[in-house]
Amino acid sequence: MTVELRGPVRITMQTVARAAGVSPMTVSNTFRYPDRVQEATRRRVLDIAAELGYVPNRAAGDLASGQSRVVGAVVPSLKNSSFYMFIRGISEAASECGYELVISLAETPEQELAAVQTFLGLRVAGLILVGSDHERATVDLLRKTPLPVVEAWATSPPVDMGIGYSVRKAMQSLLRIVLDRGFRRVGFVGFAGDASQRYSERLPAFRDYMAEAGLDSSLIHLVDEADGFSAGPAALNALHQRDAALDAILCPTDIVAAGVLFECGRRDWPVPERIAVTGWGDFEIASEITPQLTTVDAKAHEIGRQTVAMIRDRIDERQGPSFVDLGFSIVRRASV
């Protein structure tokens, strides 16, 4: 006996219950609380459900129970491998405790708002966002929702809970290494456009610490995050044109830094002899490219995991911290 397929026939708990000769509640229990149901009954129900291709309707279940096992994450990009590790961290931690992760891509604040509405509308168990820069309407919504919300890499006091690290300190540590090696004409590459807010702490930090060291901090160039590798050559060209003595370049991500290294290769500039290069993020390419990149490990994977822990604390009504600083570490390699 096989079931004909793809019909618009709706299979509900009723259908399964009747076919198995039990009440709908027994079917429900079979899926939600298997050990409330006798071995034999459970097996029969499961067999019939499989036979019919029945999957419990979660919209109905969540509605009836007022709960959900889905956590929603809204990420601004998937190009940046930090977010990849972040997602993996969330995904791992979530499935370890019986939650499911669903992701929504939002490359602009408007898309973020739409994604937040979708997830709030779905009444997910928790919501994960990146950064502190949101549309006004998004913030309003987040402030009023009873759902747990975590902002990862938060740079301002979070709407609900936040996690991150001190970008200022990381910038300071990175710059110290560059200056300690004797580099003096340091260029800064930042992001323009939608990504700029997420990176907004870096430029002031750069300026402050350069000033502290008595150095000129005017060698600044902004690129578009979407440009990826190609932003590297563009930045190097621009900065070198502004100052031919440029001897170090700080990049916003390892991708941009790799682009700079590619360009250095084309120009036959030895790195770090002619110019020092730093990345940010400790993406995989940082340790594979030649020379290997000095960069900042922002612990994206751990941030992802922690994020889920914070949501669980809130759901289980445990009193957790509303902000976690996970720190960072500088990865010293050959490019400086």
Q: Which residues are near a copy of itself by CB under 8 A?
A: 3, 5-10, 50, 52-53, 55-63, 68, 70, 72, 78-79, 81, 84, 87-88, 91, 95, 100-105, 111, 114-115, 117-118, 120-123, 137, 140-141, 143-146, 160, 228-230, 232, 258-259, 262, 265-266, 284-285, 288-290
**CB 264, min distance to a copy of itself, A:** 10
What is the nearest approach in angstroms of a copy of itself to the Cβ of residue 312? Answer: 17
For 133, 208, 216, 298, the CA distances from 213, given in Å and listed in that order, are 31, 9, 9, 25
Q: Is 22 in the site for DNA (CB under 7 A)?
A: yes
Burial of 50 (0-12, 13-18, 19+ CB in 10 A): exposed
User: Closest CB to DNA among 16 and 231?
Assistant: 16
Q: Which of 3, 50, 63, 192 binds DNA (CB under 7 A)?
A: 63
Reference 299, options 270, 322, 318, 326; nearest CA is 326
Residue 17 vs 236, nearer CB to DNA: 17
Per CB under 7 A, does 120 bind DNA? no
| Minimum gap (Å) between residue 210 Cβ and a copy of itself | 29
**Cα(153)–Cα(129) distance, rounded to whole angstroms?**
9
Of 18 and 123, which CB lies nearer to a copy of itself in the complex structure?
A: 123
* CA–CA distance, 333 with 312 (Å, rounded to integer): 38
Tokens 């540590």 correspond to 173
How near is the Cβ of 295 to DNA at its closest, in Å?
46
The secondary structure of the chain in percent helix, strand, coil, rounded to multiples of 5, reads: 50, 15, 35
Regarding 57 and contact with DNA (CB under 7 A), the answer is yes
Closest CA to 91 of 79, 101, 82: 101
